């Protein structure tokens, strides 16, 4: 009974490249959240998705960042033209339904931009 | 003003000490409250929920004061294994958890 799976665990990109972070929610969960944790800071909400829908993207930077959760396959957080300031830990969490306060977190992806 | 604010820390305490963390939140419509624990920037893990009546889990006691919009966590008889960052978390309408910046605890022998 796998938990929330994120890959890769570590991702190194050079400035200007694209980063794709993947998150497979727990079995039976249809809601996914992405959080970002910058060095020395707390977790900041980025986006909340349901299958094929973006519910709340109020925490997403206006440019270069996008997220999707297709009908089939994992949720993807995509960062285009990465900059050094994008270096952070990106955590995904899932829940079984709408507005369910019990979130299950993945182990995170550590993105390092050179 | 941040939605959730915590003591900045770090807290350095000897084994066996009692330590208290404080947290305030700005949204009076917040519905649920939690303390999470994070080790070495790994994924946060739920430590305990916080109820208005107060709740206890072994050496850990959590309190909520809705009128003051204040949450606390008390750890008694600190162990080395309690060393971690403690995150105050609030669940708001619209279905998302809002995290405080965390308070680092270091328990020394």
Q: Is the model's pLDDT at A1 over the cut of 60?
A: no
CA distance linking residue A18 with residue A113, whole number of Å = 10
Q: ω into residue A8 within 30 of 0, thus cis? A: yes
Output B40 or A78, whichever has higher pLDDT: A78
Q: Strand, coil or helix: what is B82?
A: helix
- Split at pLDDT 50, 70, 90, the class of A99 is low
Nearest to B95 by CA among A102, A19, A85, A75: A102
Task: Tell if the CB–CB gap between B96 and A45 is shorter than 8 Å.
Answer: yes
Predicted confidence at residue B31, as pLDDT, reads: 84
| Neighbouring-strand partners of residue A4 | none
| Neighbouring-strand partners of residue A13 | A113
**Which among B41, B93, B96 has CB closest to A33?**
B96
Q: For chains A and B, what is the number of CB pairs under 8 angstroms? A: 50
pLDDT digits (tens, 9 = 90+) for A19-60: 999 999 999 898 999 999 998 888 999 999 998 899 999 999
Closest Cα in chain B to A106: B43
Reading the block at residue A62, the tokens are 């206006």
For tokens 């799976």, what's the residue? A5
Residue A42 touches partner B, C-beta closer than 8 Å: yes
Distances (CA, A) of A43 to A71, B5, B58, B86: 27, 13, 27, 12
Chain B nearest-CA distance from A6, in A, is 11
Proportion of chain A in helix, strand, coil states, percent, rounded to 5? 5, 50, 50
Residue B3 touches partner A, C-beta closer than 8 Å: no
CA distance linking residue A73 with residue B61, whole number of Å = 41
Query: Mean pLDDT in each 10-residue stretch from start to end of chain B (109 residues)?
Result: 88 97 92 92 91 89 94 97 95 84 95
Asked whether the CA dihedral A68, A93, B8, B81 is positive or negative, the reply is negative
Q: What are phi and psi of A86, to 5 degrees?
A: -80, -10
Q: β-strand A65-68 against A53-56: which pairing, if any?
A: unpaired
Contacts of B95 in chain A (CB under 8 A): 31, 48, 55-56, 98-100
């Amino acid at each position: 009974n796998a938990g929330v799976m994120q890959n890769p665990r570590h991702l190194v990109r050079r400035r200007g490249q694209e980063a794709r972070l993947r998150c497979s929610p727990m079995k039976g969960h249809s809601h996914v959240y992405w959080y970002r944790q910058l060095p020395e800071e707390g977790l900041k909400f980025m986006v909340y998705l349901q299958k094929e829908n973006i519910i709340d993207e109020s925490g997403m930077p206006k440019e270069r960042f996008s997220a999707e959760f297709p009908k089939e396959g994992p949720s993807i957080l995509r960062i285009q033209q990465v900059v050094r300031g994008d270096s952070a830990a990106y955590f995904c969490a899932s829940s079984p339904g709408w507005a369910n306060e019990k979130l299950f977190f993945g182990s995170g992806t550590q993105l390092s931009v050179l | 003003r941040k939605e959730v604010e915590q003591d900045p820390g770090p807290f350095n305490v000897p084994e066996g000490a009692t330590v208290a963390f404080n947290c305030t939140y700005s949204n009076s419509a917040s519905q649920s409250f939690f303390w999470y624990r994070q080790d070495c920037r790994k994924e946060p893990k739920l430590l305990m929920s916080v109820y208005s009546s107060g709740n206890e889990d072994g050496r850990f006691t959590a309190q909520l004061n809705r009128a003051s919009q204040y949450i606390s966590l008390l750890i008694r008889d600190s162990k080395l294994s309690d060393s971690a960052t403690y995150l105050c978390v609030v669940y708001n309408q619209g279905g998302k958890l809002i995290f405080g910046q965390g308070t680092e605890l270091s328990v020394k022998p």
